[in-house]
Structure 1
């Protein structure tokens, strides 16, 4: 494994042990991203302070569509692959929908009207770092104002995660999905 910062290995630092052990995924190891951030207590704790993987204003499916779209647009095969590998089935995403998050269009026939709106919002936020008044009104047809705020936050947070995974040159998780699996 080559990365720009070597991840921690067991035994983990006290401040990270519980979280790394609790969040270990399919192979029983913590994600390389988490183990890398655990090399610095401040960065590790701040990173986890901003997460939005709890029950919020969006369903699991909506949340995963946002995360998959944003990370794919940012070219973060690492984070996209983690989320597809862990959550796509739970969120009920089809192979066609997963492919569409990488290279598709919000108007692809595999999406409902609400999901097409969600993807358009993600694309607009990614392209312009904001939502126009029209985008906001269109979003209100399907989402509450707080859900729209959560969409903005998810887009920003996972853009940051994409910066980290790409900038740290993290190796892909062995069990994670790959862009090439969804041509």
Structure 2
């Protein structure tokens, strides 16, 4: 199954609070396998959760752009687990269609706006070089201010980290998540 066994119920009150503190307040899915594995190291889990929440609470980056960037980094590092959860839950909330989610894996163009193409290329550049060229930074500045560009960099880096955790722990896609698009 996984390389790290998830914390098994019954959970202590502290563990239940930590596990249930992750995710959207209106979620209908059970606590994520990732979260139950992370809760084996509760101090680390709590610190990771704070950073993750900061990308969604009082965030300045538009949800659709954030979700496209997250889905793209998940696709680039071949993390079906995190991509599947993002595509199933956040895609619809952020207005990213199933075809658009799939295109971020396949490389197809379902009709991205010119700026969305810049955004996707920026994620690709970050993954391949670890940075952004001056040209890409300026192109992102056509629609994003400095604070939004910083949020974008943090979101890509944070989800790169989450994908590394998911892939490294060999987490299987959960039943409610989307699967990779067919070839």
TM normalised by structure 2 equals 0.90
Q: Residue 96 of structure 1 aligns with which residue?
A: 99
Q: Residue 77 of structure 1 aligns with which residue?
A: 80
Question: CA–CA distance in 2 between the matches of 1:19 and 1:60?
Answer: 25
Question: CA–CA distance in 2 between the matches of 1:152 and 1:86?
Answer: 22
Q: Residue 115 of structure 2 aligns with which residue?
A: 114
TM normalised by structure 1 equals 0.90
Listed one character per residue, the Cα deviations across residues 100-142 of structure 1 (whole Å, up to 9, x for unaligned) are 110216xx25111121111111111111110111111111111
**RMSD of aligned C-alpha atoms?**
1.7
Q: Residue 133 of structure 2 aligns with which residue?
A: 132
Question: CA–CA distance in 2 between the matches of 1:30 and 1:60?
Answer: 22
- SS for the counterpart of 2:164 is helix
Question: CA–CA distance in 2 between the matches of 1:160 and 1:22?
Answer: 19
Q: Does the Cα contact within 8 Å between 1:26 and 1:175 map onto a contact in 2?
A: no
Deviation, 1:22, is 4.6
Q: Residue 28 of structure 2 aligns with which residue?
A: 26
- The answer to which of 45-54 and 118-127 deviates more is 45-54
Deviation, 1:154, is 0.8
Q: Residue 159 of structure 1 aligns with which residue?
A: 160
Q: Residue 170 of structure 1 aligns with which residue?
A: 171
Gaps in structure 2 of 5+ consecutive residues: none
- SS for the counterpart of 2:96 is coil
- SS for the counterpart of 1:90 is helix
How many pairs were matched up? 178
Question: CA–CA distance in 1 between the matches of 2:160 and 2:16?
Answer: 26
Question: CA–CA distance in 1 between the matches of 2:136 and 2:21?
Answer: 39
Question: CA–CA distance in 2 between the matches of 1:94 and 1:58?
Answer: 19
Question: CA–CA distance in 2 between the matches of 1:63 and 1:50?
Answer: 15
Question: CA–CA distance in 1 between the matches of 2:3 and 2:88?
Answer: 24
Q: Residue 10 of structure 1 aligns with which residue?
A: 9
Q: Residue 54 of structure 1 aligns with which residue?
A: 57
